[in-house]
Amino acid sequence: MRIDKYLWCVRYYKTRNMVTEACKKNHITVNGIIAKPSKEVFPTDKITFRKDQITQIITVLDIPDNRVGAKLVDIYRKNETPAEAYAHLELLKLSKEHYRRNGTGRPTKKDRRDIDEFGNEIKDEDEID
């Protein structure tokens, strides 16, 4: 099966066109070699690609006949992405929530309360020392 069709079938990309674009930008490798969209994939091949700021590493277990449901994806691939990558993504999401750009206006009441609460936590830690 072609790499673009395989990654679409196991639901890593929403459309085959998205996979094709990723291949053209050299974001997908098969067994350490940069893959074109027409590259054939076989069981035991190791596919590495970067998606959503995570370098995904999967091993092909079997080739599906067609696009499979989300519950059946694990039959066709083994996810070998390290857990630290997912933890790093969660940390990035949390840091973006608390980021505030300059010039966005006055802080809201909630922002002010959060700032005051953070200041109180620092004072409490200083008293303990």
The token duo for 45 is: 């091949």
* Amino acid at the residue 74: D
Beta bridge partners of residue 30, listed in sequence order: 33, 47
pLDDT in tens, 22-38: 999 989 999 999 989 89
Phi, psi of 59 (to 5 degrees): -115, 135
Tens digit of each residue's pLDDT (9 = 90 or more) over 60-73: 999 998 889 989 99
13: CB partners within 8 A, 6+ apart: 7, 19, 22, 51
Q: What is the pLDDT of residue 99?
A: 63
pLDDT tens, 102-124?
A: 667 777 888 888 888 877 776 66
- Alpha carbons 89 and 38: distance in angstroms, whole number: 31
Q: What is the DSSP letter of 15?
A: S
DSSP state for residue 76 in the 8-state scheme? T
The number of CA neighbours under 13 Å toward the Cβ of 42 is 1
pLDDT at 103: 64
The pTM assigned to this predicted structure is: 0.68
> Could you tell me the maximum CA-CA distance found in the chain, to the nearest angstrom?
65
Residue 6 banded pLDDT, cuts 50, 70, 90? very high
Phi-psi region of 53 (alpha: psi -120 to 50; beta: other; left: phi over 0): left
Confidence of residue 57 (pLDDT cuts 50, 70, 90): very high
Mean of the per-residue pLDDT values of the chain: 84
